[in-house]
Amino acid sequence: MKVLLLFEPEGYWKEKLDVLKLEFPEVEFTVNSKPADRITELKTTDAVICGRLSADELAESTLLKAVIVPFTGLNNFPVEELKQRNIALYNTHANAPYVAEHAIALALALLGRVNEFHHDLKQGIWNRTKEDQDMWTTLRNKRCGIMGYGNIGRCIAEYLVPFDCRVTGFRRNITLHSNDTDIELTDDINDLFLKCDIIFNVLPLTSETKHIINNENIANLKGKFIISVGRGETILEEALYNALKDNIVAGAALDVWYKYPGKETKPVMPGNFPFWELPNVVMSPHKSSHTAEAVQAMIDDTCNNIRKFISSIK
């Protein structure tokens, strides 16, 4: 049996891979980080651990039985083709508590206007009048909607408990978490928008979720706040920017974006519209699971998925 890693393991990853090699001496663990050699290696592979796989690469992987993803998102994989070929697809949700923690931090920064007050005070401007425009918004007792009530969403709901927030979770299949008696669940996104003050977006990017927030329904978020740690394209960029610029949406804290740096070293702005010029936006460079603890937890969980695969075909 051959298990292929399409990246060079370093540090903790290398330590855990060495453990797997000792645990399964009959398994050939191969590493390839050269793009030109990917297809050649994939042709003789039973399982691959990687961050992306194209449909063309999958077509050449005639022996493939499993794709093991070392993080959560699956939008860089030909999921339907994998299903058709009955190839097992593993990913990890071990980063959920850390992503949820960052979402709460973004919410507190946005509602607390931390960035605005920080930058003003650097110029000697004290926002201390009694006028409404100098006040910040408390998270306490707010009605919070969670778009994508899964592993991360459940952690967010747990972290909101000390703030006495009322939580409504949105998901397509609301029966999956029907035992969460303290959480109201809905499959109607407009109902979620209308009743909640703060929307936490943790949705993955699929054909169903792309632009789920759009020109037609964003007006239902008038005067409300969006915290997005899911995928950028779940929200139509132009609709979000205009709603923030025109003060329809009260504010947004965004950890996921529309433009990302490639191999070039020059600065890359995160959107096609200048969100960074708006005072009611808090920006984060896709960092919600970027802690040492989260990285180790995802590696541990990925290695457990490798063990599950090997055991399943013995």
Residues 216 and 298 in one domain: no
Residues 173-227 have pLDDT tens digits of 766 555 565 789 999 999 999 999 999 999 999 999 999 999 999 999 999 999 9
How confident is the model over 80-106, as a mean pLDDT? 96
Residue 101 counted as domain residue: yes
Beta strand 47-49 pairing with 66-68: parallel
8-state DSSP, 3: E
Determine the pLDDT at residue 183. 86
pLDDT at 281 over 70: yes
Residues 227 and 191 in one domain: yes
Rg over alpha carbons for the chain, rounded to the nearest Å, is: 22
Q: What pTM did the predictor assign?
A: 0.92
Contact present, 257 and 237 (Cβ < 8 Å): no
Residues 141 and 236 in one domain: yes
Tell the residue number behind the tokens 């030109």, with chain if given.
36
Contact present, 29 and 5 (Cβ < 8 Å): yes
Report the distance separating Cα 166 and Cα 164, nearest Å. Answer: 7
Determine the pLDDT at residue 264. 76
Residues 276 and 194 in one domain: yes
| The 3-state secondary structure of 15-79, one letter per residue | HHHHHHHHHCCCCEEEECCCHHHHHHHHCCCCEEECCCCCHHHHHHCCCCCEEECCCCCCCCCCH
pLDDT at 6 over 80: yes
Residues 44-79 have pLDDT tens digits of 999 999 999 999 999 999 999 999 999 888 888 999
Residues 177 and 255 in one domain: yes
Residues 70 and 205 in one domain: no
Report the distance separating Cα 281 and Cα 244, nearest Å. Answer: 8
| The 3-state secondary structure of 163-183, one letter per residue | HCCEEEEECCCHHHHCCCCCC
Report the distance separating Cα 249 and Cα 278, nearest Å. Answer: 12
Token pair, residue 46, equals: 């039973």
Q: Which is nearest to 151 in space by CA: 96, 74, 199?
A: 96
Tell the residue number behind the tokens 């090997």, with chain if given.
310
Q: Residue 121 in 3-state DSSP?
A: helix
How confident is the model over 2-26, as a mean pLDDT? 96
pLDDT at 134 over 80: yes
The DSSP H or E segment spanning 218 is none
How far separated are the first and last CA of the chain, in Å rounded? 10
Phi/psi at 257 (nearest 5 deg)? -135, -175
Residue 288 counted as domain residue: no
Determine the pLDDT at residue 33. 87
Determine the pLDDT at residue 180. 60
How confident is the model over 72-97, as a mean pLDDT? 93
Residues 199 and 173 in one domain: yes
User: Which range of residues forms the domain containing residue 29?
Assistant: 2-92+293-312
Position 40 confidence tier, pLDDT thresholds 50, 70, 90: very high
Q: Which of 11-15, 20-24, 82-86, 262-266 has the lowest mean pLDDT?
A: 262-266
Token pair, residue 270, equals: 């995160």
Q: Which residue type does 211 have?
A: H
CATH number at residue 262: 3.40.50.720
Tally the domains of the chain.
2
How confident is the model over 79-105, as a mean pLDDT? 96
Residues 105 and 86 in one domain: no
Residues 208 and 63 in one domain: no
Half-sphere exposure of 292 (CA within 13 A, CB side): 2
